[in-house]
Amino acid sequence: MPGVVAFSGTSAGPAHRTAVGSRALLPRRERMTLDTIFDLASLTKPMVTAPLTVEAAGRGELSLEDPVARWIDEARGTRVGRIPLHRLLTHTAGFVPDNPIEDYRGSKSRLYAAIARGRLRAAPGRRFIYTDVGYVLLQGVLERRFGRSMERLAEARLFRPLRCRDTRFGTRTRDRRRVAPTERSRGVMLRGSVHDPRARSRALGGVAGHAGLFGTGADVARFARMILAGGIAGGRRILSASSVRALTTNQLPRSLGVRRGFGFDIDSPYAAPRGALFSRRSFGHSGWTGVSFWIDPACDGYLVLLTNSIHPDGHKDLKAFRAGAATLAARGLGVRR
């Protein structure tokens, strides 16, 4: 990978932070810096879509038992329309990992209709299948419930109260020089435009329930500290304590063989960022572009590990790297097992 930004610490603040290597290799080499802005990819799920949904449920603005069709008219009369929202949060709705890219070439309404008509890979509730599709629908649920875009909801309910300086969907022109590039698309190196082609599509325009968020290590660390503090940051309540518990504790039956909260991974094939020392109570998430974070209330610790490992030539398997870094971070935070 070109380079890494890492933050580790506790609910009280950062204990260690570092920037190593290069932010970009092409078209020219650039040094990695702590204020580098990364495409956070699937960190959008636990940092935006899941907390907005769970917090709305806690306020009585919707219910996690609501069927999809209550909010997505295009799903009425379909099997998908009967799926409760909580199955979308835990990847147990039975969707395929990704629906066809062709579904994203029209309007949002056409996209939702295509998803509703699509075949499920498994009966709802019977299997854990990690998928972006459920989070695409959750975006639709939130936007239709509140009459506001996902981007504005996230800014108003999460990132402005958190006082995040650099976290938003997409990037501002003045910040483009700080953005870590990803891959080429149609001959152009993506820099500040979301890498995920479905999030980048005509239907979603860079703002999606599963991807599209950009941010810095400092801002992701601020989010992690808020979760460790039970939803409080800077003396302000951002999320209710019950929302934080629902997001970060297991919501699945033992028979499925994985443990997931409403948005956070706890123990699954994707849990390599836990490493060898963070506890089984810990939780986190990773993203395709090379980003991850992991949080452990047992030691009041976290690790944010941001890379643009897909730059310049594609996806890398970071499981061993993430696990090793987490083990070192936990040891540095005083964990001994």
What domain range includes position 122? Answer: 3-332
d(CA 124, CA 197): 26
Residue 263 within a domain:
yes
- Under 8 Å between Cβ of 190 and 41: no
Residue 261 within a domain:
yes
Give the type of residue at 215: G
Q: How confident is the model at residue 336 (pLDDT cuts 50, 70, 90)?
A: confident
Q: Is pLDDT above 80 for 337?
A: no
Rounded (5°) CA angle 227-232-234: 120
d(CA 47, CA 284): 10
pLDDT tens column, 161-206: 999 999 999 999 999 999 999 999 988 999 999 999 999 999 999 9
Mean pLDDT of 304-323: 96
pLDDT tens column, 231-288: 999 999 999 999 999 999 999 999 999 999 999 999 999 999 999 999 999 999 999 9
Computed over every residue of the chain, the mean pLDDT equals: 97
Upper half-sphere CA count for residue 120 (Cβ side, 13 Å):
21
Q: What pLDDT score does 68 carry?
A: 98
- Under 8 Å between Cβ of 212 and 190: no
Kindly state the percentage of the chain with pLDDT values over 70: 100
Mean pLDDT of 211-219: 98
Kindly state the percentage of the chain with pLDDT values over 90: 99
Q: Is pLDDT above 90 for 215?
A: yes
| Total count of residues recorded for the chain | 337
Residue 52 within a domain:
yes
Going by C-beta distance under 8 Å and a sequence separation of 6 or more, which residues neighbour residue 49?
A: 135, 138, 139, 142, 150, 209, 210, 263
Cβ neighbours of 77 (radius 10 Å): 10
Mean pLDDT of 64-92: 98
Distance from the first to the final alpha carbon of the chain: 30
C-alpha of 13 from chain center = 22
Mean pLDDT of 3-13: 96
d(CA 120, CA 117): 9
- DSSP state string for 163-203: T-SS-EES--GGGGGGBPP--EETTEE-SSS-S-TTTTSTT
Q: How confident is the model at residue 333 (pLDDT cuts 50, 70, 90)?
A: very high
Residue 179 within a domain:
yes
Residue 258 within a domain:
yes
Q: What pLDDT score does 94 carry?
A: 98
Residue 202 within a domain:
yes
Q: What pLDDT score does 323 carry?
A: 98
d(CA 250, CA 328): 26
Cβ neighbours of 315 (radius 10 Å): 11
Spatial CA neighbour of 325 closest among 13, 11, 12, 20: 20
Spatial CA neighbour of 127 closest among 294, 260, 286, 280: 260
- Model-level pTM? 0.97
CATH number at residue 137: 3.40.710.10
Going by C-beta distance under 8 Å and a sequence separation of 6 or more, which residues neighbour residue 10?
A: 225, 228, 300, 301, 302, 333
Tokens of 67: 């069927």
d(CA 216, CA 319): 21
- Under 8 Å between Cβ of 330 and 8: no
Q: Is pLDDT above 90 for 8?
A: yes
Residue 337 within a domain:
no
Give the type of residue at 124: P
- Counting the structural domains of the chain, the total is 1
Residue 265 within a domain:
yes
Q: What pLDDT score does 156 carry?
A: 98
Tokens of 319: 């499981």
pLDDT tens column, 81-99: 999 999 999 999 999 999 9
Tokens of 132: 């972006």
